[in-house]
Amino acid sequence: MKKVLSQAHSGLIVLVLLVCATLASVIVGHGTASASISAGAKAAVIALAIGKVWLVAWQFMELRHAPRIVRYAFDIWLAIIAVVLTATLTL
Amino acid sequence: MDGSDALMRKSLVFCGYCGFAAVVFFIIGGVFLGGMLPPLLRADEPPAEFVRKINENLMAIRVGSVFLMVSFALFGPFGAGIAAQTRRAERLPVFSFVQLIFTACGTMIALLVSFAWALMAFRPDVYDASLVQFLADFAYFLAVFSVPCFGGWCVMIALPILLAPEGTAPFPRWIAYINLWAAVLFAPGQLVLFFKSGPFSWHGLVALWLPFVAFFLWILIMSAAVITASRKPDPLAR
Amino acid sequence: MQTAGGVDRRLPGELGIWMFVAGDLLVFSLFFFVIAQTEREHAEVFSRSRAMLDLWIGVANTLLLLVGSWFVATAVELCRQQRGAYAQRYFLYAILTGVAFVANKAMEWGARIADGITPMTNDFFMLFFVFTGIHLFHVLLGLCVLILIRRASVRPQVGPHEIRLIESGATFWHLIDLLWIVLFALFYLV
């Protein structure tokens, strides 16, 4: 019983973090037709999205209990995505 | 192991190797000679450009088409091998029957791809240029627009594995997920009808490369799975 | 069944679903790259077209999927504790968030098409409709999976077999959430 509660608790904390990150990325990334957002803001939006992806995988997909090899593979994939997207969009 | 079991093993191994051979023949005929992948032609080019490129590679495309014909004909035994293995785990072989229907349809569609490809290089100067273009369109449409047939085939392989009671599945369970994944990857092929340029046209990354690469990877995995399964005892014999 | 806080390292669900997840992640990586590369080549078209999207529909859809993921994760934990009656309620909430996502998406597409914007309009909307369409297809599949695992969660005996099925289905639902996070950033924000 206690375990269920603590599990739901940590899940709830992660959910709040995810919602905050979403709202933060909207504030940072809200470009308009006339002035598209700066390179720094683009990098920040990508970074926030990557952070959210990592949190979803870590908490909800339970990578925190996964074998190390799976976690490393996922982290490496995510790092590559982060670098490639940031480089393509800002450089 | 009695005599019939030995024949069963050999026939499944034969079907598995037919799958491998289909991939090898496709690489020779479609990749190195025929210009099917990477695409020699582009969906957004004018018909005259089709005729020029085909004339430049006339002999290679013709020889490539012969190899393509062999490759696609081998889908038959490859599919029969998979169906025979799922048959071993089914009392009423419904999924195996449906698989065979899809195998037959898929083989026929694939054979038509190489017909269209060969005709395209038969007399490109005599045919009207737009007819040459049509044959190229037709070949790619047969290959990637036929999603429900090939995707349905994959789903019909996945279902008897996923639905089988514990320990009686004809293939390891992860094979079912690979098949579902392959079916999802074929799906963007249907976009070719709506776009003539960009990643969703029949020369594009998403509508051509993705389904083709997925398809031949799927054949390799399923061929290996059939050969491995041939060494296993009957799933229902326990 | 191994649960949270245990020493053994394990993946939830069965091996196959993780192969599916890995394969889907690789394919969507390709999609993400295509979007970013097209944006680089047509920055002007992208920023002009992006202004025509309704940002708050995108935000709402992101929040729906995030909350849905949390419902599913909580439901899985309840199933492991053999509390299927509670679990199925959480699965139901998750299904409702998914249905709301689909309805929201349909309204969004309908509004764009009413404005005269189609996949043929420009490169941005071509990618937008196709990739969010492929994602929507995943959501519809995911809803079927959620209905399936909700039914498994109320079986009288939720054994290892049911848990494996429930965990596999939940993993697929989280994958949908995860992919949307990146699509949302690329289409609505950057």
| Residue pLDDT, tens place only, B125-175 | 999 999 999 999 999 999 999 999 999 999 999 999 999 998 899 999 999
Residue A3 is predicted with a pLDDT of: 58
Chain C closest CA to B151's CA: distance in Å?
15
B181–C130: do the CB atoms touch at under 8 Å? Answer: no
pLDDT at B3 over 70: no
C19–B181: do the CB atoms touch at under 8 Å? Answer: yes
Is residue C32 within 8 Å of residue A85, measured between CB atoms? yes
Region B64-87: mean pLDDT is: 98
Chain A closest CA to C11's CA: distance in Å?
5
Residues of B in contact with C23 (CB under 8 A): 178, 181, 185
Residue C9 is predicted with a pLDDT of: 84
Listed as own residue / partner, the contacts of B23-28 with beta carbons closer than 8 Å and 24 or more positions apart are B23/B71, B23/B216, B23/B219, B23/B220, B23/B223, B24/B71, B25/B67, B25/B68, B25/B70, B25/B71, B25/B74, B26/B67, B26/B68, B26/B71, B26/B72, B26/B216, B28/B64, B28/B67
| Residue pLDDT, tens place only, B162-217 | 999 988 999 999 999 999 999 999 999 999 999 999 999 999 999 999 999 999 99
pLDDT at C2 over 70: no
Chain A closest CA to C38's CA: distance in Å?
10
B200–C31: do the CB atoms touch at under 8 Å? Answer: no
Residue C16 is predicted with a pLDDT of: 95
Rounded CA-CA distance A23/A20 in Å is 5
Residue B4 is predicted with a pLDDT of: 65
Nearest CA in chain C to A90: C40
ipTM of this complex prediction, to 2 decimal places: 0.92
Rounded CA-CA distance C134/C146 in Å is 18
A57–C32: do the CB atoms touch at under 8 Å? Answer: no
Region C50-71: mean pLDDT is: 95
Rounded CA-CA distance C7/B26 in Å is 49
Cα angle, residue B35 at apex, residues B33 and B40 outer, rounded to 5°: 145
Nearest CA in chain A to C30: A81
| Residue pLDDT, tens place only, C85-123 | 899 999 999 999 999 999 999 999 999 999 999 999 999
Nearest CA in chain C to B158: C16
Chain C closest CA to B29's CA: distance in Å?
26
In this prediction, residue A31 has a pLDDT band, given cuts at 50, 70 and 90, of low
- Taking the alpha carbons at both ends of chain B, their separation in whole angstroms is 16
Question: What pTM was estimated for this model as a whole?
Answer: 0.92
C20–B178: do the CB atoms touch at under 8 Å? Answer: yes
Provide the percentage of residues in chain C whose pLDDT is more than 70.
96
In this prediction, residue A87 has a pLDDT band, given cuts at 50, 70 and 90, of very high
